C-alpha cells in the first residue's frame, strides 16, 4: 500500500494459463515499419507467439498484430539482423529447433514468413547473438542443456563445441569488445571463452578440453547477465545478478569491479544511461572526472532491478533513487519508447502480465481510513461514553443483578453397597466389603433449572483423598431443560483402603452459560457441598483395646448419655445392634484397618476419642461433635480438656518439610549434574573437532558416570514425590484435627472459624519454591501482625513477598504464638 | 518442452516446490541424472535458505555457556553485554525503557537485540525458557533457527535427499561441480555443520586454498560450531584470496560473538575500504553502535545508509525512535510518515505515530492513529498499545480512561509489567495503598526495569517499612545505578538506619 506505486500506461494479460521466462520477450521494431515504433514480441512455453503494438490507454484488440500457435514450446525470442538484407528478423528458439522469421505488415495484416530453420541435435536452453569474429551480420550462438555451444551463421552451422564439466545451463552473453562468450558454470563461477579460441580448436580438431580465457568466482548461482557499454567510463561492463548480489565484472580480466548485496531476491535487471550527465554519485571524496578515467569502484550507470517481492527499484550509480510496487513480480524489465514517449518501463510477469508503466506517486488510498470513522455527533458520543462509564461503574461496585434463572444443584445418595459387577482394581486400592467386592456408594446429582436451556455446562466432582469417583467431569454443549425441570447424573464413589478419612466433603461445582433475558449470556456457577455417610467410611466393631496412646477428651455441659443414641442411624444402617452392647464404648474401623474408639463417661457428658494413630482421630471427632450438636439441638457447650496437640502437628510438618527439602536438594544436584554433563559434552566435542585430537583423559568415562548419576537422581526424586504425597496427607489430617480442636477449645465463632480454615489450610499444594509451609508461615505472620497483634503498634500489615523457608523453627514458633493469642481471647477477623 | 529446461526456469523464478516436483519425477526415470540431481539439491537448498548473515540467533545453551568473550571485565563502551556503561552519552534509562542488561526495550527489533545479557534473569536455566507469554515462544535451540527449519522441511521433501552420515567427504569434494551444492545443502537444509565442514575442508585442499568460497563456508561452519578462532582465520584468509562483502559480514559476526564491539566496527570499516558504498556494512556499523548505546554515531551511519538506500526501514525506524526519545516528536513523526509512505502498515507503526502526534500536541490525530493501531493489533502487541493509550489518557488528564486502558492491557497480557507499574501509580492516587503496593510488587517481579522498584520503595518508605524499602531501592539501583532519586532515597534510608 505504498504511495510509490507504478502507474500503468498500457497493460495486457497475455494468454491464459501460459508460462513465460525472462528470455521469452523482446522489444523492437520487429516488422521493420518505416514509421518506426517499438513492438513487443512474446512467446510462451505453451508455444504461442504474439506481437503487440501498444498505445497509450486501454488495450484494444487491433494492437495485437499477430497471434500464432507454433505448436512447440518457445524458449527464447530474439531480434537481430541475421541476414544480408539488413532487415530486422525474428529468431525463435524451440527445444530442438531454431527458426528465423521475417515479420511483414501489409495493410494492417501482419504475417510471419519463414526465412530459415535449423534442426538442433541437442535440447537447447538459450541463445545469444552478435557479430562474432567481426562478421557483417548477426550470428546466433545456441547453448544446449548439456553445454554444447552451436554457432549458426545464416543457414549454416559454423561451430559445435562442448564446454567442459557442464551440468546446469545458465545465462549466456556475447561480449563484443573481446569477442568472447560468457557463461556461468556449476562451480558458481563466471567463465569467458574467446570466439577465436573456440574457432581454432574446432578447426584444428583439437580433442582436448577447451580452456576458459578467464574465470571469476562469484560464489553464487548467476541468474542474469548483461553486457553494458558504459558511457561514463567508456568501457564495457559485464553485469551479473546472482541470488542475492549484483556484480559488475570487467570485460578484459573478469575481475569484480563492484558488488552490491541486495536485501531482496532480484528477479531481473536493466541497465541504461540517462541523457543528462549527472549519473555518478558525488561526495567530497569523489572526483567525477577521475572516475571516468578508470578505476571506477561504482557502477557509473543507472539500472532498474526487479524483485520477487514485487518491487521495481531504480538505482542511479550507488544510490537507490526510487522504489515502486508492482502488482506481480516482474521477471523482465526494459526501458523503451512507445507512442513517442521515451523512457517507459516495460515489465513482464511470468504469469503473463505485460505492462508498460511510468513512475509516479499515488495519494494514500481510502482503505487507510477505517470504515467506522464517520463523522460522529458530539452529543451521541458523550451519551455513549456516559452509558459505558455507567456500566463500568456498576460492575466495579459489584452490584450485579442476578439473572432471572439460575441452575441449582442437589444430590441423592444411595445406601452403601458392594459392587455387583467386576471392578478393575490392579493396584488393589479399593476397600473391599465382606464379600470381597469394592465398597461403593451411588451418588446422583440433580440439576435443576427454571429456564429453557443452558450452554457449555460443565459439572466437576471433587472427592476427598480417601475415595475415588468413577466419573468426575460431566460436560454438555447444550442442555435443554424445556419440559422437565430437572436432570439427573449418577456416578459411583469407591472407598480406598490406604488413607484415613480426613475431609468427608464431596464438592460438586458446575459452570455454565445462561442466556440473559435481554441478550447475551452470563457465565454462572453453582456449587453444592455434601458429606458422605459415616457408614461409607467406617464400620463398627467390637471394642477390644481401650488403652490407645492418642486420645482427645471432649467435655459437654450435659449429663451422661448412651453412646448408641448418638450413632443410632449408623448402627441401623450397618445392622450392628449385636455388636453395640456396651453403653459407653464404641469402636470404629476405617477401611485402612485403623481403629478409633469412643468412650463415654458414666457420670458426666464427657467423651474420649482414642486411637493408635493420631491422624485417625479427626474424622470421628468431627462426626461425634456433629452428632452431639444434633442430639442436643445445638443447645450444648462443647469444650476440650487437653491442650492443643501441637507436637503432633509439628512432627507432621517436619516430615513433610524434610521431604520437600530432599526433593529440592536432589533437584539442585540434578541441575549440577546436568550442567556438568553439558560441560563434559562440550569438551568432548571440542576434542573431536580438533585436527590432532588429544587423548580423551577418561572424559568418556566421566560422561557416562554423570549420565548414570543424573538418572539415579531423577529416580530418587520420583520416589520422594510419592512419599511427599503421603506426608501431605498426614499433615492435612493433623491440620484438620487442630482446626477442630482450636474451634471448640477457644470457642471460635463460625465466621472466625472460616477465616482460620483459610489461614491454616488443610489443602496442601506443593511447589518447589512455595509450599504449604511458606503459605502458612506468611498467613501466621499476617495474623500476628493484624488481628492478633499484641498492640496497635505491632499491627502493621505489609505484604512481604513469600520466600522459601530454610527451616521450620520460625513457622512452629508462630503457630504456637497464634494458639497462645487465641487462648488469650484473640479473635480472628478481617 | 524439455522438462529439465522447465525445471531450470522454475528454479530461476523461485518456484522451488514445482522445480523439486519436476526433478523428483525426472529422477524417478533416471536415477543417475547428475544435472537433475544437482538442480534438485540446489532447489531444496534455496527453498530452505535463510539469510544467516542477518538472522543469527544463538541458542540458549550457547549463551549460557558463552565463554568466547575476550574480556571478562570490558572497559566502558566496548562491550555488547554492558551497554549501560557507555561512555558516549546514550539516551538515559530515565527516558527510554531498558532491560537490566541495558538494552533498550523499545525501538527497531533486530536479530540479536533480544539477546540476553549477563545477569539477566534469562541467564539461568530455570528461567531461560520463559518467554513473554507462556507457551507461545520457545527459546532457540542450539544450532539456531537453521536446525528447526531443516527438520520442518524434511517432512515435505519426503525423506532425506542426502544421507549426511553416509557422505564420503573426500569423494564428494573431488566432484568439484557437486561439492558446493552439497555443502550448501548440508548447511541450509540439514543444519549439519560438522559434515559440511568435513567436505569443505577436503575441497579447500583440492582447490589449493585458492577458492575464497570454500574458506568462507569453512569459516561459517566453524562459527556455527563455536570455534571462533578457526573461523576468524579462515575468513581472513578468504578475504585475502578474494575480497567479498559476504565474508566481511561473516567476519564481523565473529568479533561480535567475542564481544568486541570496537573490533566489529573495525572489520566493517575495512570492508568499506574495499566496497565503499555497501549499505550492509554501514548498517552493520550502525547496529554495533546502537548495541553499545552510542546513538550519536549510530544515527550518523543511519543517515549514510539512507543516502544510499532511501527506503531502508531499519534506518528510518532507528532515526525515528532516536528523535522521539530525544524529545523531538515532530521530527520523529516525519520519519514515521516516511515509513507509512513506503508501505509499512502495522499496528506498531500506527502506535508510534499516535504517540508522536500526542507529544507534538496534535491530539486530534493521535487518537485515530491509536484506533488504527488497535484495529491492526493482535495478541502479541495489543497490550502495548493499550498501555500507550493509557499514557495518552494520563497526559490529557482522563485518569478513568487511563485506568481502564491499563486494566485492558494487563488483562490481555498478564505479564505486562509497565502497565502494572502505572496501575500502581493510579491506585496510589485513588488512595488504595494496598492495591498500589500489590501492583508495584507484581510489576517489579515481572520486569527488568527500575521504575516499579523505585515506586514501591518510595511507598514503603512513606509508610515506614524501612527494611522492605531498602531492599527495593537496592534492586532499583542495581537496574539503574545512576538514578538520582533512588540514590537520594537510599541516602535517607541509611541515615534513618544510622539514627536507630
pLDDT tens digits for range A165-188: 888 899 999 999 889 999 998 888
Q: What is the pLDDT of residues A212-270, one digit of tens each?
A: 889 999 989 899 999 998 888 888 899 999 998 999 998 888 889 899 999 889 999 99
Position A604 pLDDT exceeds 80: no
Higher pLDDT, B357 or A476: B357
B194, B245, B441 ranked by CB distance to A259: nearest: B245
Which pLDDT does position A372 carry in this prediction?
52
Contact B8 A168 (CB under 8 A): yes
The shares of helix, strand and coil residues in chain B, as percent rounded to the nearest 5, are 70, 0, 30
Asked if B308 is an interface residue toward chain A (Cβ–Cβ < 8 A), one would say: yes
Note whether B465 contacts A219, CB cutoff 8 Å: no
A365 touches chain B (CB under 8 A): no
Mean pLDDT of the residues in chain B = 82
Look at A409 and A452; give whichever has higher pLDDT: A409
Tell me what pLDDT residue A715 has: 93
Q: Please, where in chain A does CATH 3.30.310 lie?
A: 536-640
Residue B133 is predicted with a pLDDT of 41
What is the rounded distance in angstroms from the CA atom of residue B316 to the CA atom of residue A375? 33
pLDDT beyond 60 at B137: no
CB contact under 8 A, B35 and A168: yes
State whether A350 and B13 contact (CB < 8 Å). Answer: yes
Residue A460 is placed in which grid cell? Answer: 466437576
The better pLDDT of the pair A143, A3 is held by: A143
In this predicted model, which residue has the larger pLDDT, A572 or A292? A572
pLDDT digits (tens, 9 = 90+) for A454-491: 888 888 988 888 888 888 888 888 877 776 667 888 88
On whether any CB of chain A is under 8 Å from the CB of B468, the answer is yes
CA distance B12 to chain A (A): 7
Average pLDDT estimate for B324-333: 91
Mark yes or no for CB contact B343/A185 under 8 Å: no
User: If DSSP codes are grouped into helix, strand and coil, which group holds residue A796?
Assistant: coil
Residue in A145, A370, A801 closest to B2 by CB: A145
Residues in chain A: 830
Strand partners, A418: A439
Of A703, A709, A669, the residue nearest A683 (C-alpha):
A703
Select the residue from B26, B177, B238 to test the A interface by mutation, using most A Cβ atoms within 10 A.
B177
Angle, CA A607 vertex, CA A606 and CA A609 arms, to 5°: 155
In the predicted model, is pLDDT for residue A405 greater than 80?
no
Which residues of chain A neighbour B375 with C-beta distances below 8 Å? 370
CA gyration radius for chain A? 47
Min Cα separation B95/chain A (Å) = 29
Report yes or no: B396 and A385 within 8 Å, Cβ to Cβ.
no
Q: What is the mean pLDDT of residues B482-490?
A: 89
Least confident of A406-420, A711-725, B213-227: A406-420
Task: Name the burial class of residue B287, with classes exposed (0-12), middle (13-18) and buried (19+) by CB atoms within 10 angstroms of its CB.
Answer: buried
Q: Can you read off the three cell numbers belonging to residue B32?
A: 543417475
Chain A closest CA to B85's CA: distance in Å? Answer: 31
C-alpha cell at A718: 520420583
Interface contact A318-B308, CB threshold 8 A = yes
Average pLDDT, chain A: 84
| A 89-148 → B contacts, CB under 8 A | 95, 123, 125, 145-146
Residue A707 pLDDT grade (very low, low, confident, very high; cuts 50, 70, 90): very high
Q: How many helices (H) and strands (E) does chain B have?
A: 26, 0
By C-alpha distance, the chain A residue nearest B277 is A318
**Above 50 in pLDDT, residue B167?**
yes
| Cα three-residue angle A417-A581-A548, rounded to 5 degrees | 85
* Residues A367-381 pLDDT 10s: 454 545 556 788 888
A558 Cα distance to chain centroid? 68
Is A325 in contact with B343 (Cβ distance < 8 A)? yes
Greatest pairwise CA separation for chain B in angstroms: 95
Å between B376 CA and nearest CA of chain A: 11
- At residue B154 the predicted structure's pLDDT band, cuts being 50, 70 and 90, is very low
Inter-chain touch A123–B2, beta carbons under 8 Å: yes
Q: How far is B86 from chain A (nearest CA, A)?
A: 31
Closest CA to A248 of A271, A266, A214: A271
CATH code 2.60.40.10 region(s) in chain A: 407-532
pLDDT, tens digit (0-9, with 9 covering 90-100), for B45-80: 888 887 776 666 565 556 555 666 666 677 766 777
Residues of chain A contacting B310 with CB distance shorter than 8 Å: 319-321, 323
Residue B189 pLDDT grade (very low, low, confident, very high; cuts 50, 70, 90): confident
- Answer positive or negative: Cα dihedral of B283, B284, B289, B292: positive
Cβ-defined contact of B8 to A125 (cutoff 8 Å): yes
Taking CB atoms within 8 Å and a gap of at least 24, the contacts of A250-258 are: A251/A175, A251/A177, A251/A178, A252/A178, A253/A214, A254/A190, A254/A192, A254/A213, A254/A214, A254/A215, A254/A216, A255/A216, A256/A216, A256/A218, A256/B242, A256/B244, A257/A296, A257/A297, A258/A296, A258/A297, A258/A298, A258/A299, A258/B275
What are φ and ψ of residue A401, in 5° steps? -85, 135
- Distance between CA atoms of A302 and B268, rounded to whole angstroms? 27
Calculate what percentage of chain A has a pLDDT beyond 90: 19
- Mean pLDDT, residues A139-146: 91
Question: Does A192 score more than 50 pLDDT?
Answer: yes
Q: Within the 393-422 window of chain B, which residues sit less than 8 Å (CB to CB) from chain A?
A: 400, 404
Residues forming a β-bridge with A48:
A69
Instruction: Please classify residue A436 by burial: count the beta carbons closer than 10 Å to its beta carbon, then call 0-12 exposed, 13-18 middle and 19+ buried.
Output: exposed
| Average pLDDT for A574-592 | 80
**CA neighbor of A563 nearest in space, from A536, A544, A588:** A588
Q: Do A318 and B1 touch (CB under 8 A)?
A: no
Contact A331 B13 (CB under 8 A): yes
Q: Compute the distance between CA of residue A280 and CA of residue A291 in angstroms, rounded to an integer.
A: 9
Please, which pLDDT band fits residue A606 given cuts at 50, 70 and 90? confident
Share of chain B above pLDDT 70, in %: 81
Position A468 scores a pLDDT of 85
How many C-beta atoms lie closer than 10 Å to residue B497's C-beta?
11
> How does pLDDT run across B211-235, given as a tens digit for each residue?
999 999 999 999 888 888 899 999 9
Pairing type for strands A139-144 and A148-153 reads antiparallel
- Average the pLDDT over B251-269 and give the result: 89
- CA B209 to CA B237: how far, in whole Å? 9
Residue A324 has pLDDT above 90, yes or no: no
Look at B34 and A167 and tell me if their CB atoms are within 8 Å.
yes
pLDDT tens-digit series, residues B378-396: 888 899 999 999 999 998 8
- The torsion angles phi and psi of A522, rounded to 5 degrees, stand at -110, 140
Which of A542, A657, A554, A552 lies closest to A614, judged by CA?
A552
- Using a CB–CB cutoff of 8 Å, tell me whether A631 touches chain B: no
pLDDT at residue B120, as a whole number: 39
- Whether B13 sits inside 8 A of A267 (CB atoms) is yes
Residue of B191, B74, B245 lying closest to A247 (CA atoms) = B245
Give the least confident one: A9-13, A120-124, A539-543, B248-252: A539-543
Cβ-Cβ contacts under 8 Å, A796 against chain B = 464-465
- Which pLDDT score is estimated for B155? 41
Q: Is the ipTM of this complex over 0.95?
A: no
How near does any CA of chain A get to the CA of B310, in Å?
Answer: 6
Hey, is the C-beta of B30 within 8 angstroms of any chain A C-beta?
A: no
Q: Considering CB atoms only, which of B8, B14, B468 is closest to A798? A: B468
Cβ A181 vs Cβ A128: under 8 Å: yes
Q: A407-532: which CATH topology?
A: Immunoglobulin-like (2.60.40)
Closest-CA distance of chain A to residue B78, Å? 28
In the block, cell 490392579 appears at A426
Cell of A301: 550507470
Contact flag B213-A188 (C-beta cutoff 8 Å): yes
| Alpha-carbon B440 to chain mean position | 28
Residue A381 sits at the chain B interface (C-beta within 8 Å): no
pLDDT at A295: 61
B242 interface with A at CB cutoff 8 Å: yes
Q: B409: distance to nearest CA of chain A, Å?
A: 16
pLDDT value for B22 = 92
User: Is residue A185 within 8 Å of A166, Cβ to Cβ?
Assistant: yes
Residue A113: closest CA among A127, A98, A102, A105:
A102
Q: Is residue A42 predicted with pLDDT exceeding 90?
A: yes
Phi, psi of A262 (to 5 degrees): -105, 150
| Contact by Cβ (8 Å): B68, B226 | yes
What mean pLDDT comes out for the span B271-287?
A: 90
- pLDDT of B65 reads 58
SS3 A633: coil
Q: Is A75 on the interface with B (CB under 8 A)?
A: yes
Q: Kindly list the residues from chain A whose CB atom is less than 8 angstroms away from the CB atom of residue B426.
A: none
Contacts 24+ apart (CB under 8 A), B179-183: B179/B203, B180/A187, B180/A188, B180/B213, B181/A186, B181/B38, B181/B41, B181/B42, B181/B45, B182/B41, B183/B217
Task: Label the pairing between strands A473-480 and A467-469.
Answer: unpaired
Q: What domains lie within chain B, and their CATH numbers? A: 433-500 (1.25.40.10)
Q: Is A189 exposed, middle or buried (0-12, 13-18, 19+ CB in 10 A)?
A: buried
Instruction: Please report, to the nearest 10 degrees, the dihedral formed by the alpha carbons of residues B21, B24, B30, B33 taken in order.
Output: 90
| B5/A392 touch (CB, cutoff 8 Å), yes or no | no
What pLDDT sits at residue B81? 67
The share of chain B scoring above pLDDT 90, in percent, equals 34
Compute φ and ψ for A582, nearest 5 degrees: -75, 130
Inter-chain contact B12–A223, Cβ cutoff 8 Å? yes
Measured between its terminal Cα atoms, the distance across chain A in Å is: 60
Cα(B382)–Cα(B411) distance, integer angstroms: 10
Query: From the centroid of its chain, how far is CA B101?
Result: 14
From chain A residues 394-423, the ones with a CB under 8 A of any chain B CB are: none
pLDDT band at B139 (very low <50, low <70, confident <90, very high): very low
Q: Choose from A31-35, A191-195, A528-532 the range with maximum mean pLDDT.
A: A191-195
Does B460 have pLDDT greater than 80? yes
Q: What residues contact A284, with CB distance under 8 A and at least 6 apart? A: none
- Does pLDDT of A404 surpass 70? no
**Residue B244 contacts A, CB cutoff 8 Å:** yes
Mutate to test the interface with B, among A219, A329, A349 (most CBs of B within 10 A): A219
Interchain pair A168, B311: CB under 8 A: no
Domain A536-640 annotated CATH 3.30.310 = yes
Instruction: Note whether A666 and A720 are within 8 A (CB).
Output: yes
Give the model's confidence band at B274: pLDDT under 50 very low, under 70 low, under 90 confident, else very high: confident
Least CB–CB distance from B14: residue in A95, A258, A308: A308
Chain B residues 176-235 within an 8 A CB cutoff of chain A: 176-177, 180-181, 194, 211-213, 216, 225, 227
Cross-chain Cβ contact B35/A145 below 8 Å: yes
Q: Looking at beta carbons, which residues of chain A come within 8 Å of B342?
A: 2, 4, 323
Contacts of B309 in chain A (CB under 8 A): 263, 320
Please judge whether A168 and B437 are an interchain contact, meaning their C-beta atoms are less than 8 angstroms apart. Answer: no
Over residues B286-293, mean pLDDT = 85
Is A678 within 8 Å of B465 when comparing Cβ atoms? no
pLDDT at A81 exceeding the cut of 80: yes
pLDDT score at A741: 85
Backbone angle region of A166, left / alpha / beta, with phi > 0 → left and psi within -120 to 50 → alpha? beta
Amino acid at each position: 500500500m505504498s504511495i510509490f506505486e507504478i502507474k500503468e500506461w498500457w497493460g495486457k494479460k497475455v494468454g491464459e494459463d501460459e508460462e513465460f521466462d525472462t528470455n521469452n520477450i523482446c522489444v523492437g521494431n520487429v516488422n521493420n515499419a518505416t514509421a518506426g515504433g517499438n513492438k513487443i514480441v512474446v512467446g510462451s512455453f505453451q508455444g504461442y507467439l504474439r506481437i503487440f503494438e501498444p498505445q497509450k490507454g486501454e488495450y484494444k484488440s487491433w494492437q495485437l498484430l499477430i497471434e500464432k500457435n507454433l505448436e512447440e514450446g518457445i524458449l527464447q525470442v530474439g531480434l537481430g539482423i541475421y541476414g544480408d538484407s539488413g532487415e530486422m528478423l525474428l529468431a525463435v528458439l524451440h527445444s530442438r529447433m531454431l527458426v528465423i522469421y521475417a515479420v511483414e505488415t501489409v495493410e494492417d495484416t501482419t504475417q510471419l514468413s519463414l526465412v530459415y530453420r535449423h534442426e538442433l541435435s541437442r535440447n537447447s536452453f538459450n541463445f545469444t547473438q552478435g557479430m562474432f569474429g567481426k562478421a557483417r551480420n548477426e550470428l546466433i550462438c545456441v547453448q544446449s542443456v548439456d553445454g554444447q555451444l552451436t554457432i549458426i551463421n545464416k543457414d549454416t552451422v559454423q561451430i559445435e563445441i562442448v564446454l567442459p564439466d557442464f551440468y546446469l545451463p545458465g545465462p549466456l552473453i556475447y561480449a563484443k569488445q573481446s569477442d568472447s562468450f560468457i557463461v556461468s558454470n556449476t562451480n558458481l563461477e563466471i567463465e569467458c571463452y574467446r570466439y577465436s579460441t573456440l574457432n581454432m580448436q574446432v578447426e584444428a580438431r583439437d580433442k582436448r578440453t577447451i580452456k576458459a580465457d578467464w574465470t571469476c568466482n562469484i560464489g553464487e548461482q548467476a541468474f542474469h547477465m548483461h553486457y553494458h557499454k558504459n558511457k561514463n567510463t567508456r568501457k564495457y561492463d559485464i553485469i551479473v545478478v546472482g541470488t542475492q548480489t549484483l556484480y559488475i565484472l570487467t570485460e578484459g580480466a573478469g575481475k569484480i569491479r563492484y558488488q552490491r548485496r541486495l536485501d531482496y531476491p532480484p528477479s531481473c535487471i536493466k541497465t541504461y544511461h540517462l541523457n543528462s550527465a549527472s549519473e555518478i554519485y558525488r561526495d567530497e571524496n569523489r572526483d567525477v572526472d577521475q572516475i571516468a578515467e578508470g578505476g571506477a569502484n561504482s557502477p557509473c550507470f543507472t539500472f532498474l532491478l526487479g524483485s520477487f517481492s514485487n518491487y521495481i527499484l531504480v538505482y542511479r550509480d550507488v544510490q537507490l533513487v526510487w522504489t515502486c510496487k508492482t502488482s506481480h513480480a516482474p521477471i523482465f524489465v526494459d526501458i523503451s519508447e512507445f507512442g513517442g514517449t521515451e523512457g517507459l518501463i516495460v515489465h513482464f510477469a511470468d504469469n503473463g502480465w505485460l505492462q508498460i508503466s511510468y513512475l509516479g506517486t499515488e495519494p494514500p488510498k481510502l482503505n487507510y481510513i477505517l470504515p467506522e470513522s464517520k463523522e460522529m455527533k458530539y452529543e451521541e458520543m458523550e451519551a455513549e461514553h456516559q452509558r459505558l462509564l455507567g456500566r463500568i461503574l456498576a460492575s466495579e461496585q459489584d452490584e450485579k443483578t442476578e439473572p432471572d434463572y439460575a441452575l441449582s444443584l442437589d444430590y441423592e445418595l444411595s445406601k452403601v453397597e458392594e459392587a455387583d459387577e467386576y471392578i478393575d482394581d490392579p493396584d488393589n486400592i479399593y476397600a473391599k466389603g465382606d464379600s470381597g467386592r469394592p465398597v461403593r456408594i451411588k451418588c446422583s446429582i440433580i440439576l435443576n433449572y427454571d429456564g429453557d436451556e443452558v450452554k457449555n455446562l460443565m459439572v466437576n466432582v471433587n472427592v476427598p483423598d480417601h475415595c475415588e469417583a468413577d466419573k468426575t467431569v460431566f460436560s454438555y454443549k447444550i442442555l435443554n431443560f424445556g419440559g422437565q425441570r430437572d436432570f439427573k447424573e449418577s456416578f459411583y464413589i469407591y472407598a480406598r483402603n490406604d488413607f484415613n478419612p480426613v475431609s468427608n466433603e464431596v464438592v460438586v461445582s458446575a459452570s455454565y452459560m445462561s442466556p440473559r433475558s435481554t441478550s447475551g449470556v452470563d457465565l454462572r456457577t453453582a456449587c453444592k457441598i455434601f458429606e458422605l455417610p459415616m457408614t461409607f467410611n467406617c464400620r463398627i466393631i467390637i471394642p477390644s483395646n481401650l488403652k490407645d496412646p492418642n486420645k482427645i477428651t471432649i467435655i459437654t455441659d450435659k449429663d451422661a448419655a448412651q453412646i448408641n443414641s448418638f450413632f443410632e442411624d449408623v448402627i441401623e444402617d450397618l445392622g450392628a445392634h449385636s455388636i453395640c452392647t456396651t453403653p459407653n464404648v464404641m469402636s470404629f474401623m476405617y477401611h485402612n484397618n485403623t481403629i478409633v474408639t469412643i468412650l463415654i463417661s458414666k457420670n458426666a457428658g464427657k467423651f474420649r476419642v482414642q486411637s493408635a494413630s493420631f491422624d485417625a482421630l479427626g474424622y470421628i471427632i468431627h462426626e461425634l461433635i456433629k452428632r452431639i450438636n444434633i442430639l442436643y439441638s445445638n443447645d450444648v457447650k462443647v469444650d476440650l480438656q487437653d491442650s492443643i496437640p501441637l507436637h503432633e502437628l509439628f512432627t507432621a510438618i517436619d516430615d513433610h518439610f524434610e521431604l520437600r527439602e530432599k526433593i529440592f536438594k536432589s533437584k539442585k544436584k540434578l541441575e549440577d549434574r546436568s550442567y556438568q554433563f553439558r560441560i563434559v559434552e562440550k569438551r568432548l566435542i571440542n576434542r573431536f573437532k580438533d585436527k590432532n585430537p588429544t587423548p580423551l583423559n577418561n572424559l568418556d568415562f566421566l560422561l557416562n558416570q554423570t549420565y548414570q548419576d543424573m538418572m539415579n537422581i531423577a529416580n530418587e526424586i520420583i520416589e520422594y514425590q510419592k512419599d511427599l504425597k503421603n506426608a501431605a496427607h498426614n499433615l492435612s489430617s493433623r491440620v484438620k484435627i487442630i482446626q477442630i480442636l482450636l474451634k471448640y477449645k477457644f470457642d471460635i465463632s463460625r465466621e472466625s472459624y472460616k477465616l482460620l480454615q483459610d489461614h491454616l489450610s488443610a489443602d496442601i499444594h506443593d511447589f518447589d519454591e512455595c509450599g504449604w509451609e511458606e503459605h502458612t508461615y506468611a498467613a501466621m505472620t499476617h495474623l500476628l501482625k493484624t488481628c492478633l497483634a499484641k498492640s496497635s503498634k505491632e499491627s502493621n500489615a505489609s505484604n512481604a513477598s513469600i520466600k522459601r523457608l530454610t527451616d521450620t523453627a520460625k513457622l512452629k514458633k508462630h503457630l504456637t504464638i497464634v494458639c497462645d493469642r487465641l487462648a488469650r481471647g484473640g479473635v480472628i477477623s478481617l | 518442452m524439455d522438462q529439465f529446461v522447465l525445471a531450470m526456469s522454475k528454479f530461476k523464478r523461485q518456484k522451488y516446490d514445482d522445480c523439486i516436483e519436476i526433478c523428483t519425477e525426472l529422477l524417478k526415470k533416471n536415477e543417475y541424472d547428475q544435472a537433475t540431481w544437482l538442480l534438485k539439491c540446489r532447489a531444496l537448498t534455496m527453498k530452505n535458505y535463510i539469510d544467516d548473515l542477518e538472522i543469527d540467533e544463538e541458542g540458549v545453551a550457547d549463551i549460557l555457556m558463552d565463554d568466547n568473550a575476550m574480556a571478562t571485565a570490558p572497559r566502558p563502551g566496548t562491550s555488547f553485554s554492558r551497554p549501560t556503561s557507555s561512555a558516549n552519552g546514550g539516551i538515559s534509562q530515565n527516558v527510554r525503557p531498558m532491560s537490566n542488561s541495558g538494552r533498550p526495550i523499545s525501538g527497531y527489533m533486530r536479530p540479536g537485540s533480544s539477546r540476553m545479557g549477563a545477569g539477566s534473569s534469562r541467564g539461568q536455566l530455570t528461567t531461560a525458557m520463559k518467554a513473554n507469554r507462556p507457551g507461545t515462544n520457545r527459546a532457540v535451540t542450539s544450532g539456531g533457527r537453521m536446525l528447526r527449519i531443516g527438520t520442518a522441511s524434511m517432512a515435505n521433501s519426503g525423506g532425506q535427499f542426502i544421507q549426511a552420515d553416509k557422505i564420503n567427504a573426500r569423494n564428494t569434494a573431488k566432484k568439484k561441480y557437486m561439492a558446493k551444492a552439497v555443502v550448501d545443502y548440508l548447511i541450509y537444509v540439514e543444519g549439519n555443520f560438522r559434515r559440511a565442514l568435513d567436505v569443505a575442508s577436503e575441497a579447500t585442499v583440492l582447490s589449493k586454498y585458492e577458492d575464497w568460497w570454500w574458506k568462507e563456508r569453512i569459516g561459517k561452519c566453524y562459527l556455527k560450531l563455536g570455534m571462533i578462532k578457526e573461523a576468524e582465520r579462515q575468513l581472513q584468509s578468504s578475504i585475502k584470496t578474494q575480497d567479498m562483502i559476504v565474508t566481511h559480514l561473516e567476519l564481523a559476526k565473529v568479533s561480535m560473538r567475542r564481544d568486541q564491539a570496537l573490533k566489529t566496527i573495525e572489520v566493517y570499516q575495512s570492508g568499506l575500504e574495499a566496497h565503499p558504498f555497501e549499505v550492509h556494512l554501514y548498517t552493520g556499523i550502525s547496529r554495533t553502535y546502537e548495541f553499545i548505546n552510542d546513538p550519536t554515531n549510530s544515527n550518523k551511519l543511519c543517515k549514510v545508509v539512507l543516502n544510499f538506500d532511501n527506503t531502508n526501514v531499519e534506518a528510518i525506524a532507528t532515526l525515528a525512535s532516536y528523535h522521539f526519545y530525544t524529545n523531538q516528536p515532530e521530527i520523529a513523526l516525519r520519519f514515521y510518515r516516511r515509513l507509512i509512505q513506503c508501505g509499512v502498515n502495522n499496528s506498531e507503526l500506527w502506535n508510534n505515530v499516535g504517540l508522536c502526534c500526542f507529544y507534538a500536541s496534535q491530539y486530534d490525530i493521535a487518537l485515530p492513529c491509536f484506533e488504527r493501531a488497535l484495529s491492526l493489533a493482535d495478541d502479541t502487541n495489543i497490550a502495548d498499545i493499550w498501555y500507550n493509550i493509557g499514557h495518552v489518557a494520563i497526559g490529557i488528564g482522563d485518569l478513568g480512561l487511563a485506568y481502564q486502558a491499563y486494566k485492558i492491557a494487563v488483562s490481555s497480557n498478564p505479564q505486562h509489567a509497565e502497565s502494572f507499574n502505572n496501575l500502581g501509580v493510579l491506585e496510589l492516587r485513588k488512595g488504595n495503598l494496598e492495591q498500589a503496593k500489590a501492583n508495584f510488587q507484581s510489576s517489579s517481579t515481572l520486569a527488568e526495569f527500575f521504575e516499579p522498584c523505585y515506586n514501591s520503595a518510595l511507598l514503603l518508605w512513606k509508610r515506614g517499612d524501612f527494611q522492605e524499602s531498602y531492599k527495593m531501592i537496592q534492586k532499583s539501583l542495581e537496574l539503574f545505578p545512576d538514578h538520582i532519586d533512588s540514590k537520594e532515597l537510599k541516602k535517607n534510608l541509611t541515615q534513618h538506619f544510622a539514627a536507630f
